[in-house]
């Protein structure tokens, strides 16, 4: 081995200068290093302190001059969102300075040049840029196109073959697609094309919108996404900043969006209505519907009528007061409100004993329907509060468990029909109203179809509110029929007691909120059915008067006796056409198509296609998680697609419980699945969203 070179006379063997490693020099180097570290620490501290001082100054200025309109975090209020990364990328610092100084003509944004010096305005700009750095960032380079869904286009939604423009596809809530590329003969060749994982927990219950190549989707906890429908790539993601204190029943869910022109509308868990730019996800305005302190929240899909956004409210399982609101789509100004429970001295307040009307529930937590010819809105109203203690609120408790017909321009009540007067079983009345013209004895009748949780399928004249028929579609024991006026005859043995009484159907009813569908081709209604009787108990007012020991008020399902059905009913008569039994109660919505198919998902994760004529199962796909949402169909580039959200969540025990104990440990999920007919070679041009 060769020897290692030895340095001599301060030179290394190659003649390069080297430093002596004597003990004295080592100590000097350590001291010098400590000094440099100390200086660097001081510099960093000074820089950070200055940055924090600037940040504090910007935050203080923003709080003083901007937060009242744009929110404390800049995420929008009566003024637009200032944090959106896509929007911030379109404006320079000079643009922001110009806006801050001069304002925006024609809006509520004032100029501050006479109140703030140039350094203060620059401090505000730096603060706005910090907002953007902390906001959700785009995950792809794709951009959503500008959307133009006019009110005229919404009126013609039933004729728009390609798109799905509102929750029920059209104002009648038919959930019928005229597309027939996928049909009985070729359904066996349908395959998944792509899927999208939201990454948001606690289930998916929304119906997506499809508008001109983009899917708009809302999730639990008030997230919203825009997705490229060709590739499944995310275009933008909105996440609402929710307060820590929230009051809601049955999960932090959201059931869908509405759209007008280039704006999306979403109701939120903190009882707000927010308007989002459909191209960027940026909040344009944000208004309060009510107060969390009043036990209010909002989960319903809004409906747009003309230039108005109509939305309901949740909270009926607590002491609250329900309503239906209409807002100006342009600026969020409230135009009218219909209170679902009369106030003092108003008509029908006498249907509430004492002052029970003050917190009597009546939530409106699902969507409405609209008849443009009659200019009437039809909306279901939920249960009275307290749910099971009728002694605390004697009377019919109007307008709970009703469908109300409201004038679209004013919110004035035209008529109402009450499905369950003095409800003590939590049957609600919020399930969707499907508008169909029926041929009755040779005459066309403008009808409203409704499958209620109380177990009856209704047809009502939507012009005057008169009952056409009401027929049970599951086992019903709470009523013994109807009188000549259409009022149910309550079975006194079904009233909840301290000991408990068995009643059919259970609280989730014969059908939950999940949507049914109607096919003009078969003239049948297709609905997801729950068979699940329950024991109802009331340890309320009378129990306390008798000084009985404290006990529960509510219900419990009969063990292992629950099951479900996919059912078809003849719309003209209410008679059963066919039914297919399912192991677990059905709690996903329906889709009917011109291809002779009915699509539905079940709580065990199966997404299936049925023959619309006879109910034969023709195709099925296991999605990996239970399904509570409803499918949609759309056409893009000449190809028909079917889309469904899979993600079990919400009040699962509310429709299964002891009746279906195998659902106790259900699999959660968060995926959107998109299907189409198999196409050889399609993968060669599919780029998985890359740009």
Say if residue 27's pLDDT is above 50: yes
Print the domain residue range for 402. Answer: 151-681
Q: How many helices (H) and strands (E) does the chain have?
A: 8, 40
In a domain, 142, yes or no: no
In the prediction, which pLDDT does 683 show?
A: 61
Same domain, 248 and 289: yes
Same domain, 517 and 402: yes
Taking 3-state DSSP, the helix, strand and coil percentages for the chain, each rounded to the nearest 5, stand at 20, 30, 50
Say if residue 133's pLDDT is above 80: no
State residue 225 phi and psi, 5-degree precision.
-130, 145
In the prediction, which pLDDT does 2 show?
A: 40
Q: Which residues contact 502 (CB under 8 A, 6 or more apart)?
A: 477, 533, 534, 535, 536, 558
Say if residue 10's pLDDT is above 50: no
Say if residue 283's pLDDT is above 60: yes
Same domain, 69 and 204: no
Average pLDDT in the 398-405 region? 98
In a domain, 6, yes or no: no
Query: What total of structural domains would you count in the chain?
Result: 2
Average pLDDT in the 659-670 region? 90
Q: Summarize pLDDT for 409-460 with one digit per residue, the tens.
A: 999 999 999 999 999 999 999 999 999 999 998 899 999 999 999 999 999 9
What's the pLDDT band for 688 if we cut at 50, 70, 90?
A: very low
Beta strands in 234-322 (DSSP E): 234-239, 258-260, 263-267, 272-277, 283-288, 303-305, 308-312, 320-321
The token pair that represents 482 in the structure block: 């109807």
Say if residue 350's pLDDT is above 60: yes
In the prediction, which pLDDT does 315 show?
A: 93
Same domain, 290 and 376: yes
What's the pLDDT band for 12 if we cut at 50, 70, 90?
A: very low
In a domain, 269, yes or no: yes
For a pLDDT cut of 90, what percent of the chain falls above it? 71
Same domain, 77 and 216: no
* CA 307 distance to own-chain centroid: 21
Question: Are β-strands 176-177 and 590-593 bridged in parallel, bridged antiparallel, or unpaired?
Answer: parallel
For a pLDDT cut of 70, what percent of the chain falls above it? 92
- Helical packing angle, 23-65 and 118-134, nearest 10°: 100
In the block, residue with structure tokens 């429908």: 229
H helix or E strand, kind and range, residue 29: helix 23-65
Nearest to 289 by CA among 272, 264, 312: 272
Q: Which of 134, 161, 195 represents a domain boundary (last residue)?
A: 134
In angstroms, rounded to a whole number, what is the distance separating the alpha carbons of residues 503 and 512? 17
In angstroms, rounded to a whole number, what is the distance separating the alpha carbons of residues 426 and 100? 53
| Paired strand residues for 239 | 223
Looking at beta carbons, which pairs linking 541-546 to residues 24 or more positions away fall under 8 Å? 541/389, 541/391, 541/392, 542/391, 542/498, 543/498
C-alpha distance from residue 685 to each of 197, 342, 677 (Å): 22, 60, 16
In this structure, are residues 600 and 579 in contact, taking their beta carbons and an 8 Å threshold? no
In angstroms, rounded to a whole number, what is the distance separating the alpha carbons of residues 585 and 566? 10
Q: Summarize pLDDT for 220-275 with one digit per residue, the tens.
A: 999 999 999 999 999 999 999 999 999 998 899 999 999 999 999 999 999 999 99
> Reduced to 3 states, what is the DSSP secondary structure of residue 210?
strand
Q: Is 426 a catalytic site residue?
A: yes
Same domain, 352 and 455: yes
In the prediction, which pLDDT does 23 show?
A: 58
Q: Cis bond leading into 505, ω under 30°?
A: yes
C-alpha distance from residue 641 to each of 208, 235, 502, 518, 611 (Å): 13, 19, 44, 19, 18
In angstroms, rounded to a whole number, what is the distance separating the alpha carbons of residues 303 and 257? 8
Nearest to 628 by CA among 669, 659, 664: 669
In the prediction, which pLDDT does 86 show?
A: 76
In angstroms, rounded to a whole number, what is the distance separating the alpha carbons of residues 164 and 643? 11
Give the CA count within 13 Å in the CB-facing half-sphere of 499: 4
In this structure, are residues 432 and 173 in contact, taking their beta carbons and an 8 Å threshold? yes
pTM for this predicted structure: 0.89
Say if residue 113's pLDDT is above 60: yes
In the prediction, which pLDDT does 65 show?
A: 87
Average pLDDT in the 359-363 region? 93
Say if residue 387's pLDDT is above 90: yes
Nearest to 579 by CA among 623, 534, 530: 530
In the block, residue with structure tokens 């728009």: 160
Torsion of CA 59, 64, 66, 68, to 10 degrees: 120
| Paired strand residues for 610 | 598, 617
In a domain, 14, yes or no: no
Same domain, 551 and 615: yes
* CA 390 distance to own-chain centroid: 31
Burial class (CB in 10 A: 0-12, 13-18, 19+), 421: middle
What's the pLDDT band for 54 if we cut at 50, 70, 90?
A: low
Same domain, 123 and 188: no
Higher-pLDDT residue of 577 and 3 is 577
In this structure, are residues 276 and 283 in contact, taking their beta carbons and an 8 Å threshold? yes
Q: Name the catalytic one among 423, 426, 428, 452.
A: 426
| Paired strand residues for 260 | 263
Q: In what order do the strands lie in the sheet with 214-218?
A: 209-211, 214-218, 223-228, 234-239
What's the pLDDT band for 467 if we cut at 50, 70, 90?
A: very high
What CATH number is associated with residue 121? 1.10.760.10
Q: Which of 134, 164, 196 represents a domain boundary (last residue)?
A: 134
Higher-pLDDT residue of 130 and 522 is 522
In a domain, 691, yes or no: no
H helix or E strand, kind and range, residue 218: strand 214-218
C-alpha distance from residue 517 to each of 522, 525, 566 (Å): 11, 6, 11
CB count within 10 Å of CB 214 equals 24
DSSP code, position 417: E
Pick the range with the lowest mean pLDDT from 7-11, 351-355, 395-399. Answer: 7-11
Average pLDDT in the 39-62 region? 73
* CA 470 distance to own-chain centroid: 30
Same domain, 197 and 259: yes
Nearest to 147 by CA among 216, 249, 72: 216
Same domain, 117 and 156: no
Q: Which of 104, 134, 164 represents a domain boundary (last residue)?
A: 134
DSSP code, position 637: T
Q: Summarize pLDDT for 558-592 with one digit per residue, the tens.
A: 999 999 999 999 999 999 999 999 999 999 999 99
What CATH number is associated with residue 452? 2.140.10.10
Same domain, 325 and 397: yes
Say if residue 68's pLDDT is above 80: yes
In a domain, 366, yes or no: yes
Pick the range with the lowest mean pLDDT from 169-173, 218-222, 677-681. Answer: 677-681
In angstroms, rounded to a whole number, what is the distance separating the alpha carbons of residues 154 and 597? 25
* CA 366 distance to own-chain centroid: 10
In the prediction, which pLDDT does 124 show?
A: 83
Give 364-382 as a DSSP string.
Answer: --S--EEETTTTEEEEE--
Say if residue 8's pLDDT is above 50: no
User: Average pLDDT, whole number, for the chain?
Assistant: 90
Same domain, 108 and 176: no
Burial class (CB in 10 A: 0-12, 13-18, 19+), 443: exposed
What's the pLDDT band for 26 if we cut at 50, 70, 90?
A: low
In this structure, are residues 329 and 260 in contact, taking their beta carbons and an 8 Å threshold? yes
């Amino acid at each position: 081995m060769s020897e290692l070179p030895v340095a001599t006379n301060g030179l290394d063997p190659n003649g390069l200068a080297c430093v002596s490693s004597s003990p004295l020099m080592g100590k000097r180097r350590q001291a010098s290093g400590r000094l440099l570290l100390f200086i660097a620490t001081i510099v960093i501290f000074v820089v950070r302190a200055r940055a924090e001082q600037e940040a504090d100054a910007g935050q203080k200025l923003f709080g003083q001059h901007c937060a009242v309109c744009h929110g404390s975090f800049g995420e929008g209020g009566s003024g637009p969102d200032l944090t959106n990364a896509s929007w911030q990328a379109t404006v320079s610092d000079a643009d922001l300075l110009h806006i801050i100084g001069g304002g925006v003509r024609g809006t509520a944004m004032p100029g501050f040049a006479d109140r703030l010096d140039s350094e203060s305005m620059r401090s505000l700009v730096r603060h706005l840029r910090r907002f953007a750095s902390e906001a959700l960032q785009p995950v792809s380079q794709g951009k959503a196109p500008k959307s133009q869904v006019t009110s005229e286009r919404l009126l013609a939604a039933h004729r728009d073959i390609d798109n799905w423009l509102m929750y029920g596809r059209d104002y009648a809530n038919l959930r019928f697609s005229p597309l027939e590329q996928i049909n009985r003969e070729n359904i066996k060749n349908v395959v998944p094309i792509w899927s999208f994982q939201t990454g948001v927990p606690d289930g998916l219950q929304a119906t997506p919108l499809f508008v001109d190549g983009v899917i708009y989707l809302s999730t639990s906890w008030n997230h919203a996404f825009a997705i490229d429908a060709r590739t499944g790539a995310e275009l933008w993601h909105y996440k609402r900043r929710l307060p820590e204190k929230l009051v809601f029943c049955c999960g932090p869910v959201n059931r869908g969006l509405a759209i007008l022109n280039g704006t999306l509308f979403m109701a939120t868990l903190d009882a707000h209505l927010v308007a989002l730019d459909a191209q960027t996800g940026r909040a344009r305005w944000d208004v309060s519907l009510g107060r969390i302190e009043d036990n209010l929240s909002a989960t319903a899909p809004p409906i747009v009528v003309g230039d108005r956004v109509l939305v309901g409210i949740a909270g009926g399982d607590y002491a609250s007061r329900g309503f239906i609101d209409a807002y100006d789509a342009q600026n969020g100004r409230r135009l009218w409100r219909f209170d679902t429970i009369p106030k003092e001295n108003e008509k029908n307040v006498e249907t509430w004993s004492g002052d029970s009307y003050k917190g009597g529930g009546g939530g409106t937590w699902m969507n409405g329907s609209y008849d443009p010819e009659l200019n009437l809105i039809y909306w279901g109203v939920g249960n009275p509060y307290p749910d099971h203690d009728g002694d605390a609120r004697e009377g019919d408790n109007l307008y709970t468990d009703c469908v109300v017909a409201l004038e679209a321009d004013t919110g004035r009540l035209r008529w109402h029909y009450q499905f369950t007067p003095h409800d003590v079983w939590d049957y609600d009345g919020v399930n969707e109203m499907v508008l169909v013209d029926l041929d009755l004895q040779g005459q066309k009748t403008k009808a409203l179809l409704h499958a209620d949780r109380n177990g009856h399928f209704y047809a009502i004249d939507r012009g005057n509110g008169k009952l056409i028929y009401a027929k049970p579609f599951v086992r019903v024991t709470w009523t013994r029929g109807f009188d000549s006026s259409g009022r149910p005859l309550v079975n006194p043995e079904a009233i909840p007691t301290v000991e408990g009484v068995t009643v059919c159907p259970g609280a989730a009813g014969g059908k939950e909120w999940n949507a049914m569908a109607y096919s003009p081709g078969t003239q049948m209604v297709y609905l997801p059915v729950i068979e699940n009787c329950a024991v109802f108990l009331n340890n309320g007012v009378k129990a306390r008067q008798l000084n009985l020991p404290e006990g529960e008020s509510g219900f419990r399902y009969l063990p292992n006796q629950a099951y479900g059905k996919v059912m078809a009913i003849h719309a003209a008569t209410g008679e059963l056409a066919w039914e297919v039994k399912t192991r677990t109660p059905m709690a996903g919505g329906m889709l009917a198509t011109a291809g002779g198919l009915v699509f539905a998902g079940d709580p065990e994760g199966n997404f299936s296609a049925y023959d619309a004529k006879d109910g034969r199962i023709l195709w099925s796909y296991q999605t990996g998680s239970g399904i509570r949402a409803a499918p949609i169909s759309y056409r893009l580039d000449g190809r028909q697609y079917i889309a469904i959200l899979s993600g079990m969540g919400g009040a699962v025990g509310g429709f299964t419980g002891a009746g279906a104990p195998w659902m106790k440990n259900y699999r959660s999920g968060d995926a959107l699945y998109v299907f189409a007919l198999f196409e050889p070679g399609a993968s060669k041009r599919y780029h998985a969203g890359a740009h």
